[in-house]
Amino acid sequence: MKILVCISHVPDTTSKINFSDDNTTFDTNGVQFVINPNDEFGLTRAMWFKEKQGASVTVVNVGGPETEPTLRKALAIGADEAIRVNTIATDGFSVAKQLANVINSGGYNLVIAGRESIDYNGGMVPGMIAGLINANFVNNCIELEVDGNSAKATREIDGGKETVTTSLPLVIGGQKGLVEESDLRIPNMRGIMMARKKPLNVLEPVNANPETTSVSFEKPTPKGAVTLVSPDNLDELVNLLHNEAKVI
């Protein structure tokens, strides 16, 4: 099994989100970047495939040199090698196209990406990769077992879950459930030292025109203070929800 784990380099959840003065770009000043949480579940599941079934694990990111610490962290967690496609990620389609090229030239048969990144929340890269390389695709995947060329997966559906069978080559849109939060690994000193020596290959991008363009950003209008209702006066809460908020 030759696994490629797609890693998005995203602002930590607790980061304050700010934009440039003209609101056209995300302001990265003072922002702590991390491995996208949905990708980290997939990376950990890939480590289990490596340890139990002898899979090789490559991690990949599309981005500038500033994203390399995130890839090094993935190497410290245990991936064998890393690839950075040297271009600024513009939209989901162009990222998927770069990744499809990496997959085609590297011969990976299992691609694990997060169901969405927590920055742009496009939720399209895994599916677009599958469409571009003509592989099977399971989204919102919460369990995955691979035996030879066959795979059994469980995906979360609205109101429950569904178990499916499929075969490699396979693209996974992963999320919590592939492994649990308590299974996530924090790199230890040995891992960090070893990661420095592991290959991080920089590939030049292929031509991929973005299909969508980000024009501007805005923050939601600040919310007013909470209206407190006494627990002894719940009629007032019902009244407010009905007459003021008009939601019941």
Partner 1 sequence: MSVLVYTESEQGAFKKAAFEVASYAKAVANQLGTTVTAVSINVNDTSALGNYGVDKVLNISNSQLDNFNANAYASAIKQAAEKENTQVVIVSSTADSKYLAPLLAVGLNAGYASNVVEAPSSTSPFTVKRTAFTNKAFETTQINTDVKIVGVSNNAFGLVENSVSASAEDFSPSIPDLGVTVKSVDKATDKVTIADAEIVVSAGRGLKGPENWGMIEELADVLGAATACSKPVSDLGWRPHGEHVGQTGKPVASNLYIAIGISGAIQHLAGINASKVKVVINTDPEAPFFKAADYGVVGDAFQVVPELIEKLKAFKAQQ
Report cis status (omega within 30 of 0) of the bond before 222.
no
Report d(CA 106, CA 129) in Å as an integer: 14
Q: Which two tokens stand for residue 131?
A: 């469409």
Of the candidate spans 58-66, 70-78, 118-126, 193-201, the one that interacts with partner 1 by CB under 8 A turns out to be 118-126
Residues numbered 72-111 forming contacts with partner 1, rule: CB under 8 A: 91-93, 96
Give the count of residues interacting with partner 1 (CB under 8 A).
83
* DSSP-assigned beta bridge partners for residue 91: none
Please state the closest distance from residue 20 (CB atom) to partner 1, in A: 13
Our finding on whether 157 is near partner 1 (CB under 8 A) is yes
Our finding on whether 145 is near partner 1 (CB under 8 A) is no
Please state the closest distance from residue 189 (CB atom) to partner 1, in A: 28
Our finding on whether 136 is near partner 1 (CB under 8 A) is yes
Our finding on whether 188 is near partner 1 (CB under 8 A) is no
Out of 14, 29, 32, 207, which residue is the one contacting partner 1 (CB under 8 A)?
Answer: 14
Our finding on whether 32 is near partner 1 (CB under 8 A) is no
- Would you say 11 or 191 has its CB closer to partner 1? 11
> Quick one: CA torsion of 193, 184, 51, 165, rounded to 10 degrees?
-140
Strand 150-157 relative to strand 136-147, pairing: antiparallel
- Residues 6 or more apart whose CB falls under 8 angstroms from that of 235 comprise none
Our finding on whether 175 is near partner 1 (CB under 8 A) is yes
* Among 40, 42, 43, 32, residue whose Cα is nearest residue 10: 32
Rounded to 5 degrees, what angle do the CA atoms 178, 191, 10 make?
55
Our finding on whether 30 is near partner 1 (CB under 8 A) is no
Out of 29, 163, 207, 243, which residue is the one contacting partner 1 (CB under 8 A)?
Answer: 163
